[in-house]
Amino acid sequence: MMRITFLLFCNIFLLSWVAQGQTKSVQGMLKDDKIRVVAGASVKLISDQDSMVTSSSIAGIFIFNNVKATNFKISVSNLGFEKFEQEFTFPAGESKYIIPSFTLQQSSELLQEVVIDGVPTVVVKGDTLEYTMKDLKLRDGSVAEDALKKLQGVEVDKDGNVTAQGESVKRVRINGKDFFGGDVKTATQNLPANIIEKMQIVDDYGDMANITGNKNGDSEKVLNIQIDPKYNQGHMTTLRAGYGTEDRYQATGMWMGMREGEQISVLGNLNNTNAPLFDFNTSGGGARRQQGGGGRRGGDMFGGSNGLTKLGSIGLNARKDFSDKLTVYGSYSYSHSNNTTLSDMFQQNTLRDIIQNDSIHSNSNTIGASHRFEANLEWKPSTRDYIKISPQFGFDDGDANALTNSITYRNEEFNNSQDQNTFTHSTAPRYGISGLYNRKLNDKGRNVFLNMNYNNAKTDKDQNAILQRLLEDPNNANASLNSIYERTIQEASNKSWNAGASLNYTEPLSEKGKLELTYDFNKNKYDNSNLQQGFDKENNPISDDPKLNFDYNYDYSFTTHRIGANYLYSGDKVTYSIGAAAQPSQLRGDAISSDLSVPIYRNNLNWMPIARFEYKFSRQSNLSVNYSGSATEPSVTQILPFDMSTNRTSIVMGNADLNPEFNHQMNIRFRKNDFQKGNNFFAFVNANLANNKIVSLNKSYLGALRNSNTGAIDTTLISETRYLNETNDHPYGISTFYHYGKSLKEKTYNIMLMGGISFNKRIGYSSTDSLDNVGLKNISKNIVFNQGLMFRYNPSENFEINPGVRYQYNHTENSLTNRTTNISSWTPTLIGSVNITPSTIFGADLSKQFNQGYGSGINANPFIINTYVEQKFLKGQRGTVRLQAFDLLNEQTNVSRTVSESMITDSRTNRLGRYFMLLFTYKFQKFALGSPDGDDKSRGGMRPPRM
C-alpha cells in the first residue's frame, strides 16, 4: 500500500515536470512614486493556464517567457510598498507584450526597511523577524545552517538544533510550505545558502491565526526560507563520498529541481558517523495541531548523537502549484538505523533517614526502521474560501536489546546487585488526516473558520526480560549472596485514536474591535491489552505469583469541550484580547483483569480567562503577554489500577481514581531592536502552574519474595511506584532568557551576551513502608542558571574566528532530606576557519568542559578538538577534497543531570570517538539565469559531516 502510494505520488509530480508549453512573452518595468527603479520585487503572472513568479532586475525590469493565456493578471509585492495588481489582455497577433511602467506606492503599514551597509536588511512585522541574505560573509559551499549562525538572535548548536530568541525552532518551511514534514535539520544542513533570498523567524500560532489573524494558545518558532525567485528555474546536485579510520564511511547525495510553481528534492544518506538525515519525531503542520492521543509517534527509535549509529536514509519532497488556486505538496522519508549506546548513571533517591544510591551501567542496541508520508492540498475555490487537507501515514519497526547492571547501596552499605537483559520487538503503524475550511462572510471581518482532525495509531510489542539479582543477608553481611532469577514474556497491544474539531466565528463590532466566539472539541481514546507470563531458571512456568502473571485490558477515553467568547481590539499601538472560556472534561472507561473490573468515571469543569496583550513602543520594539490553559489526561501507566511490573522487585501500580490535571501557562516577551546601530535585545519569561498535578509516590522497602528455584523466602529491596493527585499544593515553574547582540564595523565584529534562570518547584511522595500508600511529602526546588558570552570576528568570507564561553550552575534542594546538591560547568570554545589560498581552507573547532559536582564515576572534563583541511578543484571549484580529524584526543562523552521530585540522576553516555576521514564532494548547479555567483561557481550543497 505504501509502495503504491509512493509511486503514484512520484508519477504525478514527474509527469507535471515534463509538461510545459511555449508561446508568448511579457516584459515590464517597476518604478516608485519618485521615478526610481525598484529592484528585487516579487512579480507574479497569473491566468487560467499560467502561474509564474520572477523578480525585477537591477534596472527594475521583469520578463515572463512561455505565457500561454491571452488574459492574465500581474501581481507585484515588495517590502515597503503597497501590493499592486492589474489585469491585462495580450494584443492581437503579437508574440511579445511590453507593458508600460508600473508605479509602486510606499506602504503606510509595513515597517520601512532598515538598511545598514554591509549588514543584512532586517524587517520587523508583527510576529515575524525577517533577514535578507545579501552581504552575509559566506564561503563557497555554505548551507542554510551557516547563514543562520550569522543572524542576530539565532543560535545553532553542534548537533544542528536551532534556537531563535531563546526558543527552539520546531519546524521549517521553504517558500511558506513544509519541507520534508517541517524537518529542521534536513533543510538547514542541505539547502545551499547561495540560492536563499530571505530567512524569516515566525512566531506561528497555527493556520487559523495565519488566515484570520485571531491568535489562540501558544506559538511555536518556525523558520521560513524564501528562495530567490531568479533561482526558481533550474537544478542542483551534490554528491559526497568518504572513508576513514575505524572503518568510518559516508555517502550522501542530493538533487533539487525547481521550475515556476514546482519543486522536487531527493536526498539520500548512508553513514556510520552519527549523521541522521531525517528527524522522524518531527511532524508537519497539517491543518490542525494535534491535541494528544492517537496518531503520535512513540519514542525515538534512532540513536541520534549518543552512542554509535549506522544509518541509511532516503527521501523525496515535492510541490506543484497547479494554478494560483490549487497547490499540492508533500514528502516521503525512510530511514534505517543501528545504534549501540553505553551509559553510566548515578541515582540519588529521596528517602527520609535513608541514603540510597544506585550505580547503573547499561549496554543497549536498537535497530529500527521508519517510514513517513505527509501531503497537503491547499485550494482557494474563490477569493472568500480557503480549504486545506493534510493526510499522514507512518510505520515504525524496531528491535531493542538492553543489558543493565546495577548496584544498590543503603546508608553506604551494599544491598544488592542486579543484572537485567531485555529483548523487545515492536511495530507501530499510524495514519491520520486533518482539514480546515475558512469562509470570509464580508469585507469588514465577519469570518467563519472550521478545522478537524482524526489520527489513529497502534503499537504491538513483544518483550522477553530476564532478571537475576544477588542479595545480601541483612542479618548477616558475611553470608554468601542469595540469587533470585525471573524471566517474563510479555505481549502488549496499545491502540489509540484522537479526533477533534474547532469552530471560530468572528463578528466585527467597530473598525478596530471584533467579537470572537469559539468552540473546541477533542477526544482521546485508548484500547490496550497486556499479557505476561513468568518462568524460572529451568524455564518452568511460575504460575502461582500474580505479580509475574497477568492478563489486563483497559479501555478508556478523555473528552474535552471548550466554549469561549472574547473581545479583540487591534490598534496602532495596542492589541489585546480579553474574555473567558469554560472547559468541561470527561474521563470514561474500564480496567479489567481476570478477576476484577474497575470503572473509570470522572467529570471536571475548568474556567479560564482568555487574555492576550501586545504593546508596540515603536516599529522595532514591542511587549506581549499571553495566557493559556489546558487539561491533560492521566497516561495508561498512571491510571491502570493493576501491578504492571516486568519483575517482582520493581512494581508500578496505577490509580483509577486520578483526575485530569489542569495547567496554566503565561509567557511575557519583550523585543527591542536598533538595527541601524547593530543592536538587538530580546527577553522572555515563561511561567506554568498546575492544578490537580499527577505526582508519584515512590516506595523503597525490604520485602519477602519466594525463590522460585529453591522455594525459600528471600528478603530483598523492592521499589514501588504509585500515582496520586496533588490537591493541597501547586507545583510550578518559571524560566527566563535574554539575549543582547551588538554588531560593529559592518558586522565585522559581533558580540553576543545571553543567559537565563529557571526555577521549578516539584512535588512528590516517598515511603519506606510497604503498606503506606500516602507517603511523606517532598518539595524539590531546582534552580538552573545559564550565562554565555560569544564573540565573532569576520572581516571577510575568507576568515572567521569565534571565541566564547558558557557557564551553568544547577542547585537542588529537597525538603524531605534537607539535602542540597550543586553542579557547575564551564565550557570555553574556539571555532574558526581561514583560507590559506583562494582554494585551500583550514578550520578547527575546540571546546573544553570543566565539570564539578557530578555523582560517583560520572564526572568527566572532555577536551574536544576537531579540525580539517579542504582543497577545491575542477572547473568552477565544483570538486572538493577534505581531510578531517574528529576528536583528536579521543575524549568525546556526554555528561548531564536530570532532576525529578524523587530522584537526582547523573548520566554519562558514550559518543562517537576519534577518527580521520578523507571526503570527496562534487557539486553542480544550473539555473535559467545562470549560476548564483554569475561565473558558474557552484557554492551551495550538502553540509559535510558535522565536526
| pTM confidence score | 0.80
Collapsing DSSP states into helix, strand and coil, what is residue 229?
helix
| pLDDT for the residue numbered 890 | 93
Q: What is the pLDDT of residues 641-684, one digit of tens each?
A: 888 788 888 899 999 999 999 999 999 999 887 766 778 888 99
| pLDDT for the residue numbered 202 | 85
Question: Who contacts 187 (Cβ-Cβ below 8 Å, separation ≥6)?
Answer: 144, 172, 174, 179, 180, 223, 225
Q: Is 60 exceeded by the pLDDT of residue 931?
A: no
Q: Is 80 exceeded by the pLDDT of residue 481?
A: no
Q: How confident is the model at residue 939 (pLDDT cuts 50, 70, 90)?
A: very low
Span 417-428, average pLDDT: 94
DSSP labels for 371-412? EEEEEEEEEEEETTEEEEEEEEEEEEEEEEEEEEEEEEEETT
**Pairing mode of beta strands 354-382, 326-351:** antiparallel
Q: How confident is the model at residue 230 (pLDDT cuts 50, 70, 90)?
A: confident
Span 102-108, average pLDDT: 71
Span 100-112, average pLDDT: 62
Q: How confident is the model at residue 117 (pLDDT cuts 50, 70, 90)?
A: very low
User: Going along 245-384, which residue ranges are E strands?
Assistant: 249-259, 262-271, 308-321, 326-351, 354-382
| pLDDT for the residue numbered 480 | 62
For residues 905 and 40, the model is more confident at 905
Q: Is 90 exceeded by the pLDDT of residue 557?
A: yes
Q: How confident is the model at residue 11 (pLDDT cuts 50, 70, 90)?
A: very low
Grid cell locating 592? 479489567
Span 258-277, average pLDDT: 88
Identify whether the C-beta of residue 43 lies closer than 8 Å to the C-beta of residue 74: yes
| pLDDT for the residue numbered 475 | 60
Q: How confident is the model at residue 63 (pLDDT cuts 50, 70, 90)?
A: confident
Alpha helices in 675-790, H assignment, sequence order: none
Q: How confident is the model at residue 708 (pLDDT cuts 50, 70, 90)?
A: low
Identify whether the C-beta of residue 281 lies closer than 8 Å to the C-beta of residue 302: no
Report the alpha-carbon distance of residue 177 to residue 329 in Å, rounded. Answer: 8
Span 457-477, average pLDDT: 82
**pLDDT, the chain, mean:** 85
- Give percent above pLDDT 70 in the chain: 88
Report the alpha-carbon distance of residue 309 to residue 276 in Å, rounded. Answer: 9
For residues 33 and 720, the model is more confident at 720
CA distances in angstroms from 195 to 230, 431, 717, 866, listed in the order given: 9, 35, 63, 29
Q: Is 50 exceeded by the pLDDT of residue 8?
A: no
Collapsing DSSP states into helix, strand and coil, what is residue 797?
coil
| pLDDT for the residue numbered 58 | 64
Report the alpha-carbon distance of residue 179 to residue 170 in Å, rounded. Answer: 12
Report the alpha-carbon distance of residue 594 to residue 553 in Å, rounded. Answer: 9
Identify whether the C-beta of residue 579 lies closer than 8 Å to the C-beta of residue 610: yes
Q: What is the pLDDT of residues 613-646, one digit of tens each?
A: 999 888 778 899 999 888 888 988 898 888 878 8
Q: What is the pLDDT of residues 772-828, one digit of tens each?
A: 999 999 999 999 999 999 999 988 888 999 999 999 999 999 999 988 999 999 999
Task: Give a three-class secondary structure readout of 74-139.
Answer: EEEECCCECCEEEEEECCCCCCEEECCCEEECECCCCCCCEEECCEEEEEEECCEEEEECCCCCCC
Identify whether the C-beta of residue 424 lies closer than 8 Å to the C-beta of residue 400: yes
